[in-house]
Amino acid sequence: MRAIQFHQFGSAEELYLGDFFTPEPAAHEIRVKVKATALNRADLLQREGKYPPPAGESPIMGLEIAGTVEKLGEKVEKWKIGDRVCGLLAGGGYAEYAVIHEDVAMPIPESLDFLAAAAIPEAFLTAFQALIWIAKLKEGETLLIHAGASGVGTSALQLARLIGARAFVTASAEKHGLCLTLGAEQCIDYKTQDFADCILDWTKGRGADVVLDFLGASYLERNLQSLAMDGRMVMLAIMGGAQAAGINLGIVLMKRLSIQGSTLRARTLTYKTELTKAFMELTWDHFANGSLFPVVDKIFPWEEVAQAHLYMEGNRNQGKIVLSVE
């Protein structure tokens, strides 16, 4: 098969489309003819040598796929040849074929094509895990989402709307329109406004019940200021640095705050299976009727993967970047 690889760790110029062995499905796996995959920040880090795949997983980049079932493992019971599926991978999505365990593959609603379906798994499962499983966001609570126009941000906005939570976001000014259409109550231009001041003003000094953070060190102090009593913060990335000096942690005690980091790629199969099941129970009917939907910013043919990576590196996307695999 063909797959996107890189000559060596480094820039997007190292990416190329070349031959790679076609994976064989294990007993409970299905092999999928990939029609589309989508970009994630993890792909950029893996290309740079900063985020290797978990042991035993495919060295090929790509954490999500959409396509048709092409081959069944000998013990597969849930799928048949030709079924349309999408799902989350630990690696291997940038390829003509990928294998996925039958329990974490999801049926694509008839209303969605492959390009849209490929934009669901990573962003929505990450947002669901952070907001519903970890933070336990409830109806009527207040949520602050950083990077509100990102793939995870646009997914989190829709999930917050679905459960009846109030959502505020940070994003550059040109991306506010999208966030508002997805249910954001207010948008903060992180380049010109202090988000902590804005949140405290809009909540009359109370703060946000939940903060969804991707920045880490650079936002830590203001995130703590932004949280309400018994507030919860979920950290999904450290794009703003891993070392935070000079932070007064007394506020964590005074407000009884909870701070939890989370990743998804290296989770166990059991965890991912349970997560996928719970996610589908809450959302799949809403994807089918269009009240939930993946936000796709731009579609690139996979031959233009280098341009797609550069587009993401430039923070130009509003929603997901998808690669068409044909």
How far apart are alpha carbons 257 and 241 in whole angstroms? 21
Tell me the H-state helices in the chain.
41-47, 114-117, 121-128, 151-163, 176-181, 195-202, 217-226, 250-255, 269-289, 305-313
Its pTM stands at 0.96
In single-letter form, the type of residue at position 275 comes to L
| Fold adopted by 2-120+265-324 | Quinone Oxidoreductase; Chain A, domain 1 (3.90.180)
Question: Tens-digit pLDDT profile for the chain (326 aa)?
Answer: 999 999 999 999 999 999 999 999 999 999 999 999 999 999 999 999 999 999 999 999 999 999 999 999 999 999 999 999 999 999 999 999 999 999 999 999 999 999 999 999 999 999 999 999 999 999 999 999 999 999 999 999 999 999 999 999 999 999 999 999 999 999 999 999 999 999 999 999 999 999 999 999 999 999 999 999 999 999 999 999 999 999 999 999 999 999 999 999 999 999 999 999 999 999 999 999 999 999 999 999 999 999 999 999 999 999 999 999 98
Report whether CATH 3.30.70.890 matches the domain 123-261. no
For the chain, give every domain's residue range. 2-120+265-324, 123-261
Summarised one tens digit per residue, pLDDT across range 258-308 is 999 999 999 999 999 999 999 999 999 999 999 999 999 999 999 999 999
The CB density around residue 138, as the number of other CB atoms within 10 Å, is 12
Q: What is the full DSSP assignment across 239-257? A: TT-S---S--THHHHHHT-
- Spatial neighbors of 242 by CB under 8 A, at least 6 apart, are 216, 217
